């Protein structure tokens, strides 16, 4: 049965590839809407980028909503140093012509979940979790309609990528992440421990470009732009790919392995704010709340990505 999903996103090149992967998988995924949140770049950029990606893929039937312009309690931290001024630097995208919906993204999430059957909709969080957290605070009854929350965020074995201890999506709005992780819904986390193994080698980027359609070429161009920062930071021969793992997990969960454990978020310490405290070895008695993925079938992931982007325009 197809998964009905809402994608909450802050595009970002890797968000862009994740969105394209979802759009290229109609047998498994029905995208109900995209909600943009401030994160990699400010909200005015992320909502525009979401519409650009839908237009490139020929899916202007999918509505785009603007969510929150800043974290719940803290000033916004962005990542233009990785994603460029627009967030989608690399390809040349036209300005979007499809409309932005007037309804606030948080209210769209609430209305969609209230109208859903029990456990019907999966929330895919590709950026800071501000929108979903505020929806849960404003309307706690919506958990009834949530099948699963699948998010890219957090880290344990790999440390952080914005501070020594924190992963970017959690760091930007740790209070929101804390609310989501405590909501009682089924949660699957794709952390840096997985995404740092999913490396976009030159051969893999070449396969995307060789598809020859505009979505495959755009994906390759986006990743070639964003990789320059990670190549310099890590000294690796290829850069990690983050957000598309959320969508790949929905399409083929067998690509990933992990365990169900307790994960909490550090909120108070200035040194470790936004750190995910991952009880991977069950050394506490805190209740398990997250399916925490630890490894991926990387070749299988890239085979899937190439296959699905090939069906797009």
Which residues are designated catalytic? Answer: 242
Q: How many CB atoms are located within 10 Å of the residue 237 CB?
A: 9
Instruction: Please tell me the distance from the alpha carbon of residue 220 to that of residue 202, in angstroms, as a whole number.
Output: 10
- 290 in helix, strand or coil? strand
Which of 185, 178, 117 shows the shortest CA–CA distance to 153? Answer: 178
Contacts for 19 with CB less than 8 Å, ≥ 6 apart: 7, 9, 11, 34, 50, 53, 54, 57
What's the token pair of residue 284? 């506490």
Which of 118, 121, 100, 127 minimizes the C-alpha distance to 40? 127
The dihedral over CA atoms of 77, 82, 87, 89, expressed in degrees to the nearest 10, equals 160
Helix (H) or strand (E) holding 225: helix 214-234
């Amino acid at each position: 049965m197809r998964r009905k999903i809402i994608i909450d996103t802050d595009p970002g090149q890797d968000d862009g590839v994740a969105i394209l992967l979802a759009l290229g998988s109609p047998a498994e995924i029905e995208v109900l809407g995209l909600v943009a949140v401030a994160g990699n770049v400010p909200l005015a950029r992320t909502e525009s980028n979401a519409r650009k990606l839908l237009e490139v893929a020929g899916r202007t039937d999918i509505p785009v909503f603007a969510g929150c312009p800043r974290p719940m309690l803290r000033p916004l931290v962005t990542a233009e140093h990785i994603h460029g001024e627009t967030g989608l630097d690399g390809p040349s995208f036209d300005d979007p012509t499809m409309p932005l919906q007037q309804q606030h993204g948080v209210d769209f999430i609430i209305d969609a979940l209230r109208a859903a059957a029990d456990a019907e909709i999966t929330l895919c969080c590709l950026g800071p979790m501000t929108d979903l957290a505020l929806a849960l605070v404003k309307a706690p009854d919506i958990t009834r309609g949530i099948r699963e929350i699948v998010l890219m965020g957090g880290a344990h074995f790999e440390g952080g990528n914005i501070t020594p201890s924190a992963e970017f999506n959690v760091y930007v709005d740790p209070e929101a992440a804390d609310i989501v992780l405590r909501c009682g819904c089924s949660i699957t986390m794709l952390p840096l421990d997985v995404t740092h193994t999913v490396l976009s080698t030159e051969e893999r980027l070449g396969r995307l470009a060789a598809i020859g359609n505009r979505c495959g070429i755009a994906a390759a161009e986006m990743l070639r732009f964003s990789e320059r920062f990670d190549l310099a930071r890590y000294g690796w021969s290829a850069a990690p790919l983050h957000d598309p793992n959320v969508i790949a997990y929905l399409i083929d969960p067998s690509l990933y392995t992990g365990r169900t454990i307790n994960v909490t978020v550090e909120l108070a310490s200035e040194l470790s704010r936004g750190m995910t405290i991952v009880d991977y070895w069950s050394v506490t008695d805190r209740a398990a709340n997250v399916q925490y993925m630890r490894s991926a079938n990387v070749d299988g992931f890239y085979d899937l990505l190439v296959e699905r982007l090939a069906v797009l325009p």
